[in-house]
Structure 1
């Protein structure tokens, strides 16, 4: 298996410092490693330049790097395919895992209720509020929340108060700027009583459970994965992460699903143990 990681912007022949430990662990385990230019992927028509250091005919590859938009990932997949290299996660699969409307229907039984818009229009937003129904909600777009701006751009005390809810949405939209993706997503607020855990699924099976990168020293014990496994497996996605937390009533809930290639590994998990668990031999 070939592992792709971003190059250091200042030293392009070396892995980015954040991903260098995983790159070293991959090579120590017998995997090959190649570098891509992450900054080039953000530029129009930059994908071919981004993969210039990837060997032709490299077969199947896994990306471990900074988050990409769905369109950037599709451009990466296309540029690699032109070199005879195939990402284990296709562009369609990446989008399904990366953007919430792709995974929510299959996982609705184990995650907070949600309603969303296509775009950032106020009328569509009010319609989503109505679909979700009255009560507290948390706002995000298809890929990200602004939880560090909790009261001004994330938490909505009552989705039925459309004027107050739109004030939060407008501030969220302002903060996300050009990174706003897809539309507004309203999720029913649920009270969690544990730190989040990050579970890693590869090939439809949970291979590893770690702490969340935001709380690397706090791994909740006794996580019940049984309700999640068949639902995540039903998605048919090659490599995903699932953030889980304990609700106040003692039920484990899915907070977020993401593509495993761009989900951060907590500092408390050794890179070799992580890669041995999630990469094919």
Structure 2
């Protein structure tokens, strides 16, 4: 049984890969992998999962490289594929653990900003979380995503002690995220970083690729990334394919900004598709 790469279908040419993932699909075929397309919009929108994966044939282990899916939609995706004899390398619970911050935070608490979160979007629960974290600056997000491109409106909170200001930022965040809001509010202690973010890729607990972050593809830190504190923690998670974004804090310590499922983590344009596929296949 070979490895199957699953990518989203082009919205106008459903038998072809979405343009964003076409280069990785071509690199996978060149490396000897089978490639199949899936209907991401149907998967994400709660439609007929069997129809969404109708073009997937054969059997074996599969890796998805595509747009984000909510954890419950990924679980349905995995279940229907399994009925067809295709097993996603990353199981549904593993995906949730990597994709949603509460799944990985406790294991990485020593190397990432202090964090508190809510279950849902109520103001009362947000007040509980902000009090738990304590006064001072923080960054707001939900379980899977921030709105950092709306930094002053919907991400940065100058002081968690100011409940009115906190709710103003949270309300704007909800307005922008709309139906994409996942899980609850997440408050992360603000730390000052002095480098561009680095995106690292990990397969079975081993770092297989270090590159730039997709938001700053041409920027890499001027100093070597020190993964010594992170390696045993990522290995301990037992997750098959993840990304870890890091940045250098102003005291010279490398800190984890984010952990994500590698299947739905974007590739910077400065990392070639062949390099990405080779890293994905690393054992």
Normalised-by-shorter TM-score class: over 0.9
CA–CA separation in structure 1 for the residues paired with 2:55 and 2:210: 33
Match of 2:5 in 1: 3
Query: What is the TM-score when the length of structure 1 is the normalising length?
Result: 0.98
Which residue does the alignment assign to 1:118? 119
Distance 1:60 1:278 in 2: 13
TM-score, with length taken from structure 2 = 0.97
In the alignment, what sits opposite 1:87?
Answer: 88
Q: How does 1:181-196 map to 2 (within 5 A)?
A: 181-196=182-197
Structure 1 segments (4+ residues) deviating >6 Å:
none
Q: Secondary structure at the match of 2:176?
A: helix
Instruction: Please give the per-residue CA displacement for 1:161-204, whole angstroms capped at 9, x wherever unaligned.
Output: 11211111111111111111100000000011100000000011
1:204 matched to 2:219? The reply is no
1:67 aligns with 2:95: no
The whole-number CA distance in structure 1 between the counterparts of 2:229 and 2:137 is 25
Question: In 1, Cα distance between the equivalents of 2:194 and 2:269?
Answer: 23
For 2:90 and 2:220, the matched residues in 1 are separated by 28
Please give the alpha-carbon distance, in whole angstroms, between the structure 2 residues aligned to 1:44 and 1:151. Answer: 33
Match of 1:161 in 2: 162
What is the distance in 2 between the residues matched to 1:46 and 1:169? 34
Q: Secondary structure of 2:202's match?
A: strand
The aligned counterpart of 1:100 is 101
Listed as ranges, the matches of 1:217-236 within 5 Å are 217-220=218-221, 221-236=223-238
Q: Separation in 1 of the partners of 2:234 and 2:107?
A: 8
CA distance in 2, matches of 1:141, 1:67: 14
Query: Aligned partners of 2:160 and 2:46: how far apart in 1?
Result: 39
**SS of the counterpart of 2:269?**
coil
What's 1:128 paired with? 129
1:43 Cα deviation (Å)? 3.3
Say whether the 8 Å CA contact 2:208–2:282 is kept in structure 1: no
Cα deviation code 1:131-185 (max 9, x no counterpart): 0001000000000111111111111111111121111111111111111110000
Look up the SS of the partner of 2:45 in the other structure.
coil
Indicate the RMSD between aligned Cα atoms, in angstroms.
1.0
Correspondence for 1:248: 250
Secondary structure at 1:94 match in 2: helix
Match for residue 46 of structure 2?
A: 44
Matched, 1:25 2:27: yes
CA distance in 2 between partners of 1:45 and 1:25 (Å): 30
**Residue 143 of structure 2: aligned partner:** 142
Unaligned stretches of 5+ in structure 2? none
For residues 3-27 of structure 1, the C-alpha deviation after alignment (integer angstroms, 9 at most, x for no partner) is: 0011101011111111000000011
Deviations 1:78-109 (A, max 9, x none): 11011011000001000000000000000000
User: CA offset at residue 280 of structure 1?
Assistant: 4.5
Alpha-carbon distance between aligned partners in 1 of 2:270 and 2:47, rounded to the nearest angstrom: 38
Q: Residues of 1 paired with 2:45 and 2:244: CA distance?
A: 30
| Residues 140, 154 of structure 2: 8 Å contact kept | yes
* SS across alignment from 1:266: coil
Is the Cα–Cα contact under 8 Å of residues 46 and 73 in structure 2 kept in the other structure? Answer: no
Deviations 1:191-242 (A, max 9, x none): 1110000000001100000111111111224000111110111110000000
